[in-house]
Amino acid sequence: MQGLQWIDYLGLLGVFLSSITFVPQVYKAWATRSVGDLSAWMLLILMGNVTTWLVYGIIKADLSLILANAIIMGLTLLMAYMKIRFGSQRKGS
């Protein structure tokens, strides 16, 4: 097995940056139990998008694509769970 090349490190940096984009939203939704403004359609489309890229990454054996999309899928599923769990709650109830 060959060591990582500079392009691999660039891909891993992209993984990190792509993955952390959802963290503030997930944290805010969890802390406030407020997901009313979160679009269910956006979550469904994002899940389809991420699933497609994840399968592509697996087929191509591309570690960066696999990692990024697995992490984003996990965060998206967490957001979908919170949308279902907290979506009907009103603030203060």
Structural domain contains residue 91 = no
Measured from the Cβ of residue 72, the count of other Cβ atoms closer than 10 Å reads: 21
User: Does residue 91 have a pLDDT over 60?
Assistant: no
User: Does residue 18 have a pLDDT over 50?
Assistant: yes
At 59, list the tokens.
Answer: 């087929």
Structural domain contains residue 53 = yes
Structural domain contains residue 39 = yes
pLDDT recorded at residue 93: 47
> What integer is the mean pLDDT of 6-13?
87
User: Does residue 89 have a pLDDT over 80?
Assistant: no
Of 5-14, 43-52, 71-80, the poorest mean pLDDT is in 5-14
User: Does residue 59 have a pLDDT over 90?
Assistant: yes
Structural domain contains residue 42 = yes
Measured from the Cβ of residue 8, the count of other Cβ atoms closer than 10 Å reads: 14
Structural domain contains residue 1 = no
Question: How many domains are there within the chain?
Answer: 1
At 11, list the tokens.
Answer: 């891909």
At 70, list the tokens.
Answer: 């697995």
- CATH number for the domain spanning 33: value is 1.20.1280.290
Structural domain contains residue 11 = yes
Q: Residue 13 belongs to what domain range?
A: 6-86
pLDDT recorded at residue 90: 55
